[in-house]
Amino acid sequence: MSTVFSKIIAREIPADIVYEDELVLAFRDIAPSAPTHILIIPKREIATANDVTAEDEAALGRLFTVAAKIAAEEGIAENGYRLIVNCNEHGGQEVFHLHMHLLGGRSLGPMLARK
Ligand code: AMP
């Protein structure tokens, strides 16, 4: 089942794309949770972190190298940032095309909300 992210890859719906190569695409989150909030996705549609295979290792590694490149470009590398991959219901995943969130530009506080 195709998601909204496949439509962004295919340019069927607009997005603020900040990076693209043969393996991954990066674009600004439509509802940012921080001054910098960018999603980096493999072009191959992998539904969740449960569905990765050895064939995906190049694309998944690329998520990290692209995150570091974008963080430098956004001017947030030195102060730091957070990379998140949500999986399924308990992880709070809403779009079932695996994606890495790159969040920064302010202090993000503790990793999980404390209840
Ligand atoms: P997750 O909860 O990890 O699945 O995160 C999905 C993210 O996708 C959310 O932060 C949404 O704001 C974001 N999102 C959903 N639709 C779009 C879109 N069309 N363009 C950019 N970001 C989107």
pLDDT, tens digit, 9 for 90 and up, residues 77-89: 999 999 999 999 9
Report whether residue 29 contacts ligand 1, using a CB cutoff of 6 Å. Answer: yes
Token representation of residue 72 = 């430098």
- Phi first, then psi, for residue 15 (nearest 5°) are -155, 155
User: Which atom of ligand 1 has the smallest separation from the CA of 27?
Assistant: 21
CATH code of the domain containing 94: 3.30.428.10
Determine the structural domain holding residue 19 and report its residue range.
4-104
Total domains in the fold of the chain: 1
What is the spatial distance between Cα 26 and Cα 56, in angstroms, rounded to a whole number?
A: 17
Q: Domain for residue 54, yes or no? A: yes
Find, among 57, 58, 49, 44, the residue nearest to 3 by Cα: 44
Report whether residue 31 contacts ligand 1, using a CB cutoff of 6 Å. Answer: yes
Q: Domain for residue 112, yes or no? A: no
Token representation of residue 11 = 């340019």
Q: Which helix (H) or strand (E) holds 41?
A: strand 36-42
Which positions ≥6 away from 1 have C-beta within 8 Å? 96
Q: Domain for residue 109, yes or no? A: no
pLDDT per residue as tens digits for the range 37-92: 999 999 999 999 999 999 999 999 999 999 999 999 999 999 999 999 999 999 99
Instruction: Enumerate the H helices of the chain as residue ranges.
Output: 4-9, 57-74, 88-91
- C-alpha torsion sign, points 111, 32, 63, 48: positive
Q: Domain for residue 115, yes or no? A: no
Report whether residue 22 contacts ligand 1, using a CB cutoff of 6 Å. Answer: no
User: Which atom of ligand 1 has the smallest separation from the CA of 85?
Assistant: 3
As annotated, the active-site residues are 99
The pLDDT, as a whole number, for residue 94 is 98
